[in-house]
Amino acid sequence: MFESILSHLMLIGVLGIGSQWFAWRFRMPAIVVMSVAGLLIGPIFGFMTPSEDFGALFNPIISVAVAIILFEGSLNLDYREIQGLGKSVYRIITLGAFLAWILGSLTAYFVADLSWAVSFVIGGLFIVTGPTVILPLLRQAKLKARPAAILKWEGVVVDPLGALLAVFAFEIIQFLTVDSVTAGALLLFFLASLFAIAIGWACGRGIGWMFETGFVPEFLKSPIVFTVVIACFALADEVMHETGLLAVTAMGMTMANMHIASLSDMRHFKENISVLLLSGIFIMITASLDRETLLQVFDPRILTYVLLMLIVVRPLSIWISTINTELSFKEKALVGWIAPRGIVALTVAGYFANVLEQAGYPGASIVTPLTFALVFATVCAHGFSIGALARKLGLSLEGKPGVIIVGGSSFTTALAKTLKSMNIPVLITDTSFEQLFNARAEGVPYYRGEILSEQTEYYLDLTPYEKLIAATDKDSYNSLVCTTFVPDIGRNDLFQLSWHDPEKEHPDDLVLRIGGRILFEKGATYAELNRKIEEGYYFVQTRLSKQYTYKTFLQDIQADTLPILNFKPTGKFDFFTSEAPLKPEAGDTIISLVPPVSPEETVGDIMPPKDDTQKNLPE
């Protein structure tokens, strides 16, 4: 049972995606869970050894998957994202990488007792962080825009540079120690690197031109992109090993900065593919390790080396390289700590371990356990600490889930002011300055601009907002906004006002495919809600208890009272909708829109006697 390649692929897929779900459900670093899962089915219990089971296909599968993941990461590297951060990013990926190489090599030689040759090869390799590990951590930690942009750019750009630096160090060592290796080999290395950049740029420009001129139909765009990525990687890698990573990075960055409109339609599909590939190859890599390698990890030399890389080499290289840059002390502290190594380090280290060992360089035998120790230690240390450290330094957006409201009006302003009074992040957006008059007058955060514009993501940080309400006077526009944000937010957290004429404009067979969940109840339209606010309706909150249940609340409220949202003691909340009725429990607080009556009458109607659990909120 489970001896065939098909069953192994099934197990890898189930464990990979299962690890992602487990990490999301229990708020753990996904990389850590996947690493543990791979170790359990591999060296610990021996269910499979992918490197042997897949045979000659193992390395090509890993290489192509890494190339696609790196391309997907570089496709997000738009220069507009680092406006005001260009100096620090440039310093980190140049001077910072060089310092990390030199310091890491010296540490390997003096602490890990490796030869100079092996030290400088793995020193170059270990400068990488990579999108396979840094991007999942950024999604988990919800960092502010500046540190997140720096870590993302470093991870994607330095990833291929680390592999190239290892190749360069090996070529230099060969040139200095082997008589048969001439200066021509070094020249070939530089020419191959330039060729990789050129072919990546050409592929990116070519794909961009075909997309912009309509030369490719929509249904073929994603398949063509992935085919060209693999071709670009393979061509460059055939010329010289590891230059393929540089080629796909150049291709992705070229396309990202061409601002091709159709790329945004493909982005979420590519992200889904990357998550699937990342999950699978991390399971395959860790499951392929043997028990001897795991035992070598506990060698005192390796443990000391890993510790110094964590607390000395990384922080020192970042602090020196960012002197006189725009980074604050806290941003330097965070970036100087976070540097998880991932799949590129493991795969390239495996290649060089064999090459160096066959060449007879001392210390080559511990390259693999040394790499795994560094990868696992950094993934665990940084994965479990990034959120807490970011919150401690004030660089995290953690907190109550925020709400972004599209459409300025009397109702949305009153709702936003109520949410703000509960310390819930809220923002109103509208293209009309006049529609935002009430929000500006009431001190509610607002943004004037088109929420659907590509430019918005560069001028407005949407990370704090986990829920969106489309509340303009145009039903079709509300549906368009919600449909557009489904991949980013998820349909469960997308809401829109009730349609003006649901039977005519919003047939039942359409609601399942477009738009968001209908807020409150049918008939709660833009015009109706704003009419209520203008007539004096206002928001109140009612806290439920074991004695005063939700059923009692429904019996006590007036006919025109409109339940708005249910707020839980944990800080989570959800809006009442016409699709999925909520079930508030004891301890929850219900926010309602009530008719304009005196506060005494409201309290008496809504609240049970002798239970001071209600507080009137400002309109």
- Which tens digit of pLDDT belongs to each residue from 413-443? 999 998 888 888 899 999 888 888 888 888 8
pLDDT per residue over 180-204, tens digit each?
A: 666 777 788 888 889 999 999 999 9
**Distance of alpha carbon 132 from alpha carbon 134, whole angstroms:** 6
Q: Are 251 and 73 in contact (CB under 8 A)?
A: no
Delimiting residues of CATH 1.20.1530.20 domain(s) in the chain: 5-176+278-393
Tokens of 280: 């699978």
Confidence of residue 264 (pLDDT cuts 50, 70, 90): low
pLDDT of residue 556: 81
Give the integer Cα–Cα distance in Å for 513 and 569: 33
Domain 5-176+278-393 adopts which CATH fold?
Na+/H+ antiporter like fold (1.20.1530)
Q: In what order do the strands lie in the sheet with 446-448?
A: 446-448, 426-430, 402-406, 465-470, 494-496, 517-518
- Integer Cα distance of 317 and 99 in angstroms: 5
Q: List residues bridging with 124 in a β-sheet.
A: none
pLDDT of 619 reads 35
Give residue-wise pLDDT tens across range 221-230.
Answer: 888 888 999 9
Q: What is the dihedral of CA 132, 134, 136, 137, to 10 degrees?
A: 150
* pLDDT higher than 60, residue 509: no
The C-alpha torsion from 502 through 505 and 509 to 512, rounded to 10°, is -80
DSSP 396: B
Residue with tokens 């870590």: 151
The reported pLDDT for the residue numbered 235 is 93
Residues of the chain with CATH 3.40.50.720: 402-616
Distance CA 231, CA 251 (A): 11
Could you report the per-residue pLDDT of 537-577, keeping only the tens digit for each?
888 888 888 888 888 888 888 778 888 888 888 878 888 88
Strands (E), 183-294: none
Question: CATH code for 402-616?
Answer: 3.40.50.720
**Model pLDDT, residue 399:** 62
Tokens at residue 213, please? 């001129």
Judge whether residue 380 has pLDDT over 80.
yes
pLDDT of residue 271: 65
Lowest-confidence segment of 33-37, 72-76, 411-415, 453-457 by average pLDDT: 453-457
Residue 503: how many other CB atoms lie within 10 Å: 8
As given in the structure block, the two tokens for residue 133 are 């590990």
Q: What is residue 501's predicted lDDT score, i.e. its pLDDT?
A: 60
* Cβ within 8 Å of residue 282, ≥6 positions away: 16, 31, 34, 35, 38, 132, 342, 343
Query: Region 443-471: what's the mean pLDDT?
Result: 79
What is the reported pLDDT for 406? Answer: 92
State the alpha helices, DSSP H only, in 288-366.
Answer: 291-296, 300-308, 314-321, 329-337, 343-358
* 66 within 8 A of 88, measured Cβ to Cβ: no
For β-strands 573-575 and 517-518, DSSP reports them as: unpaired
The reported pLDDT for the residue numbered 383 is 83
Phi, psi angles (nearest 5°) of residue 405: -110, 120
pTM: 0.68
Determine the Cα–Cα distance for residues 464 and 442; give it in Å rounded to an integer: 21
| Residues 466 and 276: beta-carbon distance below 8 Å | no
Structure tokens at 490: 């998820």
pLDDT score of 292: 84
Strands 538-543 and 614-616: antiparallel
Chain centre to alpha carbon of residue 266: 16
Of 160, 163, 182, 161, the C-alpha closest to 172 is 182
How far is the CA of 561 from the CAs of 93, 297, 307, 513, in angstroms?
A: 58, 65, 61, 31
Residues 96-113: tens digit of each pLDDT: 989 999 999 999 999 988
The torsion angles phi and psi of 397, rounded to 5 degrees, stand at: -100, 15
Lowest mean pLDDT, pick from 66-70, 104-108, 299-303, 510-514: 510-514
Rg (CA), the chain: 28
CB 314 within 8 A of CB 339: yes
**Confidence at 609, pLDDT banded by 50, 70, 90:** very low
